Amino acid sequence: MTSQVPQRPWLQRWHVKPIGWTLLLVGLLIASSRMTGVDVGMFFSNLGQFTDLLVRMSRPAWDYLPVILQPLYETIQMAILGTTIGAAFAVPFAVLAASNLVHNRWLRGIIRLILDLVRTLPDLLLAAIFVAIFGIGSTAGVVTLAIFSFGMVSKLFYEVIETIDMGPLEALESVGANKLTIIWYAVLPQILNQFVSYFLYTLEINVRASTVLGYLGAGGIGVFLQRSLNQFNYSQTAVIILATLVVVMVIDGISNHLRRVLL
C-alpha cells in the first residue's frame, strides 16, 4: 500500500492569504492618505523647488568648515554622554521588565508602563521642555538624548534578556547564589554583546538626532544648521550637512566593526 499524499487545499493553491493581505494593505494605504489629506500630486509638482535648493547647495563654502568643527565635536560628545546615561539607567529597568527574571506581574507591569510612557514622549517635545528648563545649550541636549535613549534601549534590552538560556540561571540558583550574583554570572555574559551592539546602534541614531535637537537650541551642530538656513546661506548648510555625513559614516563604520567583532 502506498500512503496517500493529501490534496493541496485550494486556499494554498491560489495563494489566497498573501493576495488578500496585499490588497488589504494597499487599500489601507490609499484610505489613510485620503483621510490625512496627503497630496501626492503636490509632491511631484513642487519637486522643482527641491532641485533649485540642491543647485544652490552645490557650492559648499569650505572656509566655513573650521567654524563648525567645535560644534560638531560637541554634538558627538552630547550623543555619547546622552546614550551612556540613558543606557546605564536602562539596565536595571530592563532587568525588572523581563518576564523570565521578574515573576511578579504587577512590578513588571508598572515598570513597562513607565517605559511605554517614556517612549511615547517625542524627543522634540523633550528638547523644547529642557531648553526651557536648562536654557539654550548642550545640557538640554544631553538630558533629552539620555531620556530618548533610555526609552528605546530599555525595550531592546529587556527583549534581549527574554531570549536568554535559562539553564545557567538554574545552575547558579542550585549553587546557592543570590539574585544579584545570578544576574551577574548567568545573565550578564549572555547579553553583554547584544547590549553593546544596541548601545552603538542607539549612539548612531543619537548623532543624527542631536543635529535636529540643536535646531531647538539644545546645543551642538544643529544650532549652526538652523542659523545657516535662516540666513538662506545654503553653501554653509551644504558644508554642515557634508561634515555631519562624514561623522555619521565614521561612527557607523566603527560601530559596525565593533558589532562584527562582538557577535
Partner 1 sequence: MEATPIISFKNVNKIYDNGTVGLKDINFDIPRGEFLVVVGLSGAGKSTLLRTINRMHEITSGEIRIENEPISQYKGRSLRLLRRKIGMIFQNFNLVKRSSVAKNVLAGRVSYYPTWKSILSLFSAADKQKAVQSLQRVSLAEKLYARADELSGGQQQRVAIARTLMQDPKIILADEPIASLDPLTTKTVMDILKRLNQEDGITVIVNLHSVALARAYADRIVGLRAGEVVYDEPIGQVTEADLNRVYQTV
Question: Which parts of this chain interact with partner 1 (CB under 8 A)?
Answer: 165, 167-168, 170-178, 180-181, 184-186, 189-190, 192-193
d(CA 234, CA 58): 9
Question: Residue 39: left (phi > 0), alpha (psi -120 to 50), or beta?
Answer: beta
In 3D space, the residue among 250, 237, 258, 213 whose CA is nearest the CA of residue 59 turns out to be 237
Shortest separation between residue 131's beta carbon and partner 1, angstroms = 40
In 3D space, the residue among 160, 143, 158, 149 whose CA is nearest the CA of residue 112 turns out to be 158
Shortest separation between residue 137's beta carbon and partner 1, angstroms = 38
d(CA 137, CA 223): 9
Shortest separation between residue 88's beta carbon and partner 1, angstroms = 16
Assigned C-alpha cell, 71: 560644534
Shortest separation between residue 73's beta carbon and partner 1, angstroms = 35
Shortest separation between residue 198's beta carbon and partner 1, angstroms = 17
Cβ count near 9 (within 10 Å): 9
Question: Residue 37: left (phi > 0), alpha (psi -120 to 50), or beta?
Answer: left
Shortest separation between residue 172's beta carbon and partner 1, angstroms = 6
Q: Work out the angle at residue 70's Cα, subtended by the Cα atoms of residues 67 and 75, and round it to the nearest 5 degrees.
A: 125
In 3D space, the residue among 259, 141, 262, 260 whose CA is nearest the CA of residue 200 turns out to be 259
Which is nearer to partner 1, 34 or 105 (by Cβ)? Answer: 105
Which is nearer to partner 1, 137 or 168 (by Cβ)? Answer: 168
Shortest separation between residue 227's beta carbon and partner 1, angstroms = 49
The residue assigned the cell 494593505 is 25
Identify whether the C-beta of residue 192 lies closer than 8 Å to the C-beta of residue 161. no
